[in-house]
């Protein structure tokens, strides 16, 4: 009904491209199709902030034509307007671009990072309380971040951008994945935040906002577990540096992943929340029992990126720097 009303008001389909990734013989394409006004005097879906991103109108079941590697593929968006599809196509390693066009929309380009077949290390990082902090009680954090604030109101975790940039630079050709329970609606805001604070470019794996067929809210933990398992299957030769915090479920999720895929974990780096942050987050989940660790990968803890970098250098994941 909203889509029909939007089209009567003159709104047109617009494709919002997200960064994807690929490997030998495949690419994963991510985008979203929305209805919007296309005149330049109005905000576009990539610049809309706060609650407005959640009242935008998705185009359900819309046909999207993807041009990659000289070939054309036609896929359909889901009911939320999201396209998340694997395509069988060979692209050379490195940063590549593909073209996306929905029925009735202008073509746009999307960034695809094709993993070097010789790469052996990858990076997976949580977002909330790991790369950025908003000092609010956990029950209100998602609503405040999503519906009220823009990227200027969020502050980066000290030293974390430098840590991720060092990991990406020292392990050239490796994938960088930002794994979050946030909704695709806030992807443009998160992308602006990452760019503003000089985080390395990477693929964001978010969730579709709204209920599923059997529950009112989607499971963020399940999203993270399934995403990690998929990465392990897609890149069996990659050992991942898993970065998270001790204020949610990151440690438990990473331990479960290490137990299932022990050969795919290079190290786990956990950012320790400050006392006020831990109080707002509902406590810490710090698990430091060596006997309980399922694999051989080193685990390190520190309150900021500089401390984590120092610990990762000690275990050989990063190169040591002269002090």
Q: What is the pLDDT along the chain (323 residues), one digit of tens a residue?
A: 777 776 677 788 899 999 999 999 999 999 999 888 776 555 555 554 544 445 578 888 999 999 999 999 999 999 888 999 999 999 999 999 999 999 889 999 999 999 999 999 999 999 988 998 865 555 555 555 555 455 555 789 999 999 999 999 999 889 999 999 888 878 888 888 899 999 999 999 998 755 444 444 456 789 999 999 999 999 999 999 999 998 878 999 999 999 999 999 999 999 998 766 665 555 555 555 554 555 689 999 999 999 999 999 999 999 987 65
Strands (E), the chain: 12-23, 26-36, 57-58, 63-68, 71-76, 82-87, 94-102, 108-114, 121-125, 132-133, 155-156, 176-183, 203-207, 239-245, 265-271, 299-302
Give ∠ CA 2-145-191 in degrees, rounded to 5.
85
pTM: 0.86
Sheet with 299-302, side-by-side order of all strands? 203-207, 176-183, 121-125, 239-245, 265-271, 299-302
């Amino acid at each position: 009904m909203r889509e029909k009303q939007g089209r009567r008001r003159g709104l047109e389909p617009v494709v919002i491209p997200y960064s994807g990734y690929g490997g030998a013989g495949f690419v994963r394409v991510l985008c979203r199709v929305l209805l919007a006004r296309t005149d330049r005097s109005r905000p576009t879906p990539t610049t809309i902030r706060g609650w407005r991103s959640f009242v935008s109108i998705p185009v359900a079941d819309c046909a999207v034509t993807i041009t990659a590697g000289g070939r054309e593929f036609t896929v359909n968006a889901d009911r939320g307007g999201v396209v998340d599809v694997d395509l069988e196509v060979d692209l050379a390693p490195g940063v590549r671009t593909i073209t996306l066009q929905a029925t009735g929309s202008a073509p746009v380009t999307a960034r695809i990072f094709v993993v070097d077949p010789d790469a052996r290390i990858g990076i997976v990082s949580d977002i909330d309380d790991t790369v950025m902090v908003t000092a609010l009680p956990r029950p209100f954090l998602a609503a405040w971040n999503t519906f009220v604030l823009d990227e200027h109101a969020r502050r980066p975790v000290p030293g974390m951008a430098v840590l991720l940039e060092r990991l990406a630079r020292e392990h050239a050709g490796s994938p960088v994945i930002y794994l979050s329970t946030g909704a695709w609606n806030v992807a443009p805001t998160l992308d602006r935040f990452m760019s503003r604070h000089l985080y390395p470019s990477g693929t964001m794996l978010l969730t579709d906002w709204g209920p599923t067929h059997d529950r009112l809210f989607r499971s963020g933990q399940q999203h993270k577990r399934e995403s990690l398992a998929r990465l392990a299957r897609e890149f069996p030769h990659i050992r991942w540096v898993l970065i998270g915090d001790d204020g949610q479920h990151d440690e438990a999720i990473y331990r479960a992943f290490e137990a299932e895929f022990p050969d795919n974990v290079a190290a786990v780096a956990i950012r320790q929340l400050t006392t006020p942050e831990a109080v707002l987050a509902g406590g810490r989940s710090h698990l430091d029992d060596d006997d309980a660790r399922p694999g051989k990968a080193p685990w390190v803890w520190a309150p900021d990126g500089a401390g984590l970098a120092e610990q990762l250098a000690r275990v050989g994941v990063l190169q040591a720097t002269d002090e």
